[in-house]
């Protein structure tokens, strides 16, 4: 009785080569697996961008020195859908109406536009950053926000705020330019830029039809960290100590 082995008797000790059809099938399986992994990665990135986090860049100086122009930030989109907004949060939101200037964006090269769209699909680019605003939450629904007390401080529900994050012009101690007193309606927010004298925020827009208030439904999410440039990588604080007494008196 003879047995078939992996060596061909007529070829000495040389191993028999696999048929070309099997080699081609092996490459096809390999390429298929690579494609499936790539598509799975795209899907996961898309789902993360859609439901969890996404990237934005900073188009203006209204949040300096906390955020600089062209900083990239990571935004947590679970807030406010699944997590409550808190005092001091830095939030990204859609224009509540007339806060942004007319769009004068120039057309871009088709290839650049296609690459940007692909990166935006997976959350690595943010071509719509110019359609959003970013400010710090000062007043929640039911809060009364006043500018200013005798020391130039904002007060929320009668509690003066020590605001280490604000950027004021040299020699100025008043927390913002104009005096006001507002009570935040249900479902709305009062937001202000950290660069107080150079920010078109709630105080700036208080005489607009919006009254300076931002609907909570317009909030895309809370900015968590600066992701780029690398030398500015940092978590974005919501300064709980600044608002600790306010949180104790806030109307819920």
Is 62 an annotated catalytic residue? yes
Phi, psi of 234 (to 5 degrees): -165, 150
Query: What DSSP state is assigned to residue 123?
Result: T
Catalytic residue from among 49, 55, 62, 125? 62
The residue annotated as part of the active site, out of 49, 55, 125, 135, is 135
Decide if 55 is catalytic.
no
Encode 24-56: b = buried (16+ Cβ within 10 Å), e = exposed: eeeeeeeeeeeeeeeeeeeeeeeeebeeebbbb
Nearest Cα to Cα of residue 83 among 191, 214, 222, 187: 222
For residues 190 and 143, the answer to whether their CB atoms sit within 8 Å is yes
Q: What is the C-alpha to C-alpha distance for residues 68 and 232, in angstroms, rounded to an integer?
A: 9
H helix or E strand, kind and range, residue 188: strand 188-192
Residues involved in catalysis? 62, 135
């Amino acid at each position: 009785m003879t047995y078939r082995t992996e060596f061909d008797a007529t070829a000495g000790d040389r191993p028999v080569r696999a048929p070309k059809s099997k080699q081609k099938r092996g490459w096809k399986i390999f390429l298929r697996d690579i494609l499936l992994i790539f598509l799975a990665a795209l899907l996961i990135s898309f789902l993360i961008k859609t439901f969890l986090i996404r990237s934005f860049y900073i188009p203006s100086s209204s949040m300096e020195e906390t955020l600089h122009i062209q900083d990239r930030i990571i935004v947590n989109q679970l807030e406010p859908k699944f997590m409550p907004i808190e005092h001091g949060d830095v939030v990204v939101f859609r224009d509540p109406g007339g806060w942004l200037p007319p769009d004068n964006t120039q057309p871009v090269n088709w290839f650049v536009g296609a690459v940007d769209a692909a990166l935006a699909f997976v959350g690595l680019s943010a071509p719509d950053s110019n359609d959003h605003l970013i400010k710090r939450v000062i007043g929640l629904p039911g809060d009364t926000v006043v500018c200013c007390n005798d020391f130039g401080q904002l007060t929320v529900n009668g509690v003066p705020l020590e605001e280490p994050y604000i950027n004021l012009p040299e020699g100025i101690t008043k927390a913002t330019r104009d005096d006001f007193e507002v009570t935040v309606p249900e479902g709305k927010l009062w937001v202000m830029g950290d660069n107080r004298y150079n920010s078109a925020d709630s105080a700036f827009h208080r005489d607009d039809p919006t009254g300076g208030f931002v609907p909570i439904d317009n909030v895309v999410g809370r900015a968590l960290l600066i992701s780029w440039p690398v030398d500015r990588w940092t978590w974005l604080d919501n300064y709980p100590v600044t608002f600790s007494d306010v949180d104790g008196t806030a109307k819920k």
